Amino acid sequence: MNRLLETKKAQITLFVVVAILIVASAAFVFYLRGKPSQLPSDLKPVETSFLECINSIAEEGARITSEQGGYIELPAIEEGSSFMPLQSQLNFFGVNIPYWFYLSGSNVYKKQVPTIEMMQTGISKYISDNIESCNFDNFIASGYSIKKETLEKVTVMIYDDMMAVDVLYPITIGLGDVKRRVAEHSLRVNSELGSLYQISKKIFDTEQEKLFLEDYTKDIIVLNAPTTGAVVSCAPRVWITDKVEEDVKNALQNNLLSLKIKGTYYRLANDENKYFVTDIGQSVDRQVRFFYSPLFPTKFEVAPSDEGLMKAMPVGTQTGLGILGFCYVPYHFVYSLTYPALVQIYGKDDSIFQFPVMVVIDRNVPRQATPTETPSQEVAELCKTKLEEVTVYTFDNYGKALEADVKYKCLSTICDVGSTKIENDEAVLTDNFPQCINGFVMASANGYATTKQELSTNEPSIVNLKLKKFYTLKVNSFKSSFSLGKDETLLLNLKSNEYSTSLVYPSQNEVKLSEGIYDVEAYLFSNGNIALKSENTTKCIKVPQSGIFGFFGLEREECYNINIPEQTLTQIVAGGGKTKLDVNEDELKKSSSIKISVPVFNKPTTIEGIQDNYNLIEVSSININLE
């Protein structure tokens, strides 16, 4: 029994030894196949030159990858729309860089963040596509024989501070009677691509979680644009929308450059500057820069605004409000801002990794940290159901076909319908419209005033819409027969049934008008420093009597003690008036300017005098002529 057991143990031991020998032999064979043969010294220059060429291609691939946000071959560009005119890639001085986060033209949040594996694949392909540029012409001319076979495979592995590149490309090198076949070419390429990418990804993830760029942007708007507030003044406050946009863009450019990621690459001048530092959960030892240029495509909207102006009218100038004893101008503006912020991380070897993200402020509120592919705004329910067919024709003032965008408005909801297209000398659109009673069909075209027509869409209809062309006129303004002084400003409002516009002269010296009948009102303001002393006064007003006597209209006098604070007025209403302007397209076509002359009033020295001047504007006439 024991002998049988010992025999079986011996057999098992023999099988184990044989198995080990087989595995070892196989491993040795693979080792020999993978280990490059030792080249004779005469042949080494060829392999060294080839490795240097591969190294240069790999470095170039890493550079392109870094500068293009992790991509060598860019994904397809997603075009913007009228809602979001920004594309899915940022053009930065001729280099297209895919956004890592963006809001698409269809109003959907999207990400396109590359992975390490994607970058490795991209650089491998780049080496494969360009390796034939490595030629051996100089060696062949010196007497070497070089035979290249087929490129089989390129493998790239990205590490923090280097890339491992392995190229399987058999080449036979000969010189005289000596020949060697070299199949594998391996090298290590110095590159900070891996470490720069990891920092970039950490910054991106922190932005998606904390939205620190949106928070900074909100503060920049509050500090550099009118948002909500009130000022003591008896004159309207007027801001030029383009100037406010310019101020916000310049502030973004300057302030984003001040942002820092917590690390060792900077020193703060004082503790207050900690406001500009964001912690991403690790200390960063590479320079990080956040960059924005006013030349970047940017969506800027502010409401309320009217034809390029943001206006806030004073309270206290109206008849009967003298009891207030002072004037003030309240204002509240809402901003929507979408812009690209380019994040750049600099390596110790002067390399740079950069990627852009869209920063989104929607109606003064930073976007929420939402998952991608989530619509930020839904289509109104009314616009989803279109039942009745309507045919719309659009043409200009002379009856010539004019292509236009068509919308339908029902109460406060506006639905996009489509655009008229020219067919057989007619611009026409036939489509189903949402059902609505007493809605409006609207048509708009570039360079023309939007026109509308009331239409109930409870049955098929045909609508003809005439669009009136805009003409730009130079503005010449006068007070009586004298030119405005350096310290004077004219606020001009023009309003017709279909179009309204405003301007502040001389800051704005052009106005766009289309054919129509306009109500025109002008306010002349003069700069000054009128100091109104504080005073205690008594104001008495008539109020209804209480009880049954008030029911029959009997009144009694009530008096109040009013404490009027000391105040200094820097803009005083000095003239103005109203009129009507009836102008047709032929007159606009022949004219190049519009001349406005306004009456001048006495300069007031009290609140009551200011209110009297506002009352005079209501009954005074201005002269306005086209020239």
- Going by the DSSP 8-state scheme, the letter that residue 485 receives in this structure is P
Query: Is the separation of the CB atoms in 493 and 238 below 8 Å?
Result: no
pLDDT value for 437: 84
Query: What CATH number should be reported for the domain whose range is 381-469?
Result: 2.60.40.1120
Query: What average pLDDT is seen over the chain?
Result: 81
| pLDDT tens digits, 432-467 | 888 888 888 988 888 888 888 888 888 888 989 888
**What are the structure tokens assigned to 67, written together?**
């500068």
Give burial (CB, 10 Å; 0-12/13-18/19+) of 264: exposed
Write the Ramachandran bin of 245: left for phi over 0, alpha for psi from -120 to 50, otherwise beta.
alpha
How would you classify the pairing of strands 260-261 and 299-303? unpaired
The DSSP line for 441-482 is EEEE-TTEE-EEEEE--SS-EEEEEEPEEPEEEEEEEEETTE
- Quick: pLDDT tens for 323-360: 445 567 888 899 999 999 999 999 988 889 999 999 99
The least confident of 83-92, 94-103, 334-343, 349-358 is 83-92
Query: What pLDDT does residue 91 have?
Result: 87
pLDDT at 353: 94
Confidence band for 377, pLDDT divided at 50, 70 and 90:
very low
Interatomic CA distance for residues 470 and 212, integer angstroms: 43
* Closest-CA residue to 573 (of 505, 521, 530, 523): 523
**Is pTM beyond 0.85 here?**
no
CA 424, 428, 431, 436 torsion-angle sign: negative
**Per-residue confidence at 202, pLDDT binned at 50, 70, 90?**
very high
Predicted pLDDT of residue 18: 45
Helix (H, G, I), strand (E, B) or coil at 559: strand
Tokens 């279909």 identify what position?
498
Those residues whose C-beta lies under 8 Å from the C-beta of residue 214, and which sit 6 or more positions away, are 359, 360, 361, 366, 367
Q: What is the tens place of the pLDDT at every residue in 271-304?
A: 888 888 889 989 888 999 999 998 888 989 998 8
For position 106, what pLDDT does the model report? 67
Q: Which are the contacts of 165, defined by CB distance < 8 A and separation ≥ 6?
A: 54, 55, 58, 127, 154, 155, 156, 186, 187, 188, 189
Q: Which residues contact 470 (CB under 8 A, 6 or more apart)?
A: 447, 448, 449, 512, 513, 514
Residue 524 pLDDT class (50, 70, 90 cuts): confident
Question: What CA–CA distance (Å, rounded) separates 262 from 283?
Answer: 6
Residues 379-405 pLDDT 10s:
456 777 777 888 999 998 888 888 989
Contacts of 123 (CB under 8 A, 6+ apart): 58, 61, 62, 65, 72, 156, 158, 163
Spell out the domain ranges in the chain.
44-75+112-191, 194-366, 381-469, 471-626
